[in-house]
Structure 1
Amino acid sequence: MKVGGFGAGLALRDQPDEQELKNRLHRYLIDAIEEDGVEVLDWVRPAVLEYVGDKVARFVSGYQLALTRHDLDRLTEDLVDELVGLGPLQCLLADPTVSEILVNGPRRIVVERGGRLYETDRQFVDDAHVMRVIERILAPLGRRLDEASPMVDGRTPDGSRVNAIIPPVALDGPCLSIRKFPDEQLKATDLVAHHTMNDEMLGFLRASVSRRANILVSGGTSTGKTTLLNVLSGFVGQDERVVTIEDTAELRLDHGHVVRMETRPPNVEGYGEVSARDLVRNALRMRPDRIILGEVRGDEVVDMMQAMNTGHDGSMSTVHANSARDALLRMEMLFGMAGRQIAEATVRQMIVAAVDLVVQLGRLPNGRRYVSEISELAAVRDGQYVMSVLFEFDRERQAFVHQDAPVTGSKLRGHW
């Protein structure tokens, strides 16, 4: 039956809940847009808000629903987000305090603020709704996501990093992770202000980059490895040619001579892949003074270590590991995965010759990210790495400590 001139398929309870009201309004809007023959996707947001606001007001009046002006405005904003934005994620993407958005199926959206995770009251309608938003994100990226290819990584035009995974791999429905790209990149002084390190450590790292130490930044997920790498890259001299290589471009170097490269996954037919190793090899033909590899995670480790050993001092990369020593063992493991038949002792000598410093990052329970250790890799002795801890974070005292005495055989003795 019709109510107030509205379609028969829109019958409502006396006072529908918010989600039902949004669903009904969304259907009503789609019908109205088709009937009016308008292209709201081509309009600027204020025009869409005006159009949708008028339709919402007519709908609510026709059904004589008891809604306040605030409710009407919020409904209008949400519906505009559905039509031309990313639905329940739109306001989270616009929130500068949110650094990461995690969608675990349609009913659970979690955000990271200040290094800590918080539940939100935002929800999708169902799995299909999540899929529509994922497809809207991926459409400009030209990335494929279906049962045959149920995982995808990408980078949005603003630089945010996106990962999506769907059934059958995701058992509880489509999942989406968005690591937002900050409007303003953190500066070196911000790291001191946020107690990520102290002034002495910052000065040491600045001098290390200036004197062309090869630096490996290590840490777990979301400990700030890319942020620190970006800060360290800012200490490179403006007269040097820098080549950056990333799976998903996140580095923003304030530097006048940077060549940025990004890997490419294979196409639908399985062809056209450009790996990090391909790009490292190509970078060596581009006359770089320094190579910055966003993360070493595969067989590109061989070429990166060779580059650091053959005239590209001052290069940098990151690796996932829980301690400075574990970072070196991770590098060894990657050497083995590269399929090279190289003796363990030789691999360790190559790593020692290539890496000067390991900067280890951690994160405290309150979300604070910090430099837990800066260690020099000095030598291999009796088949074991000889490391000198130059700075470390004392968790009992909640203070950074400077160790004065480098080990015998230090490659950097007298330089700092």
Structure 2
Amino acid sequence: MFRWILLFVFVAVVEIYAFQALRTVTKLRWLLWAYQGISLFIILYIAYSFTQFDRSVGQNKQSLFTIGLLLITFVPKMIIASMMILEDVTRIIGGLMREFLGDSNESFFSERRKFVSQIALGLAAIPFLSLLYGVTKGKYNFKVRKKTIYFPDLPENFDGLTITQISDVHSGSFDDPDEISHAINLINEQKSDIVLFTGDIVNTHAHEMHPWVDTFKRIETPTLGKYSVLGNHDYGEYVTWNTEKEKQDNFEAIKDLHRQIDFKLLLNENVKINKDGQEIALVGVENWGHNFKKAGDLPKASKGLTPEDFKILMSHDPSHWEYEVKDNANNYHLTLSGHTHGLQFGIEIPGFIKWSPVQYVYKQWAGLYEKTGRYIYVNRGFGFHAYPGRVGIWPEITVLELKKGQKIA
């Protein structure tokens, strides 16, 4: 009960300060009344939607919309409230000092309040517009990212091998067939030698993918094939099931989705990829996350392989590389992961800045990382989850080219 009181007080304080800022910069009564009415309606709608959340269903279109609405409306208000509270603290300290010094200048503080309100509203417009863009355009702003990686011991016949990687499809969140079809066309345009999918085909339920099977089946099968692994969302861990059998049936149906879209699902196993008489090993583990489900079995998946074999490891969660792979004596040359989505929020300006709050949780969260000649590439994700949008961290189709030799500085 106490936490609900705290939540109510927090929301009330934010709303009061946000309204005060608006009232300070405008005296239009119809605008102020409209603002209050819309704010009240949104608060009631969000509260109602959260009470309707069904743990047996999990995330759906309504919960996605609700989270998006919550972020778009409340984050800007929190920025406004923070600035106004800071201004109030400054005003109080200044007032106490004036009392002590026997001085007063109320008109100055009245003007300053309006100025601060204008600045707060201007700053709040940035996340408001960004989050709004994220849910309308950003979530389908697909980017093809290309990287070349050099390996001295890459078999000669694989020099120039191209890999297209996708990850974190989250098909249950999709709402625009044309945009998804465009993304599939982008995948096919890369004409890579092999296509790899590193997990999370759904949010929870197998049926989420059913409307999209034919679309994803259009991904062309290249010379060296299409392979996939499971992600943490593919195990149905985040909803309540009526029976264990129901959960297991859903899991089996999810695994079968990979067959339906013509991907070979690797379940703690490896396959040899042959090209003109030479081989590399493709190793696929089930999900292994430091803070998530640990179904991955790297020794089992690597059965029959030696440290000298050139290996590409598909492992959904990049924490696997950090805790079990990067220093492994079996020498995994390249690991492909996803999972983080880059939090679907951040700032990336190549050569200048690369930041997202998720970097404080995952050391490897987006792009290419290396340690002692071993690499991991973390795909930023194809789809979206929870927040129905993307800001600054765009959906990604990765194209990696493997080259034999040393990177030229």
TM-score (norm 1): 0.32
Relative contact order: is structure 1 or structure 2 higher (C-alpha 8 Å, sep ≥ 6)?
A: 2
Query: Which protein is richer in helix relative to its size?
Result: 2
TM-score (norm 2): 0.32
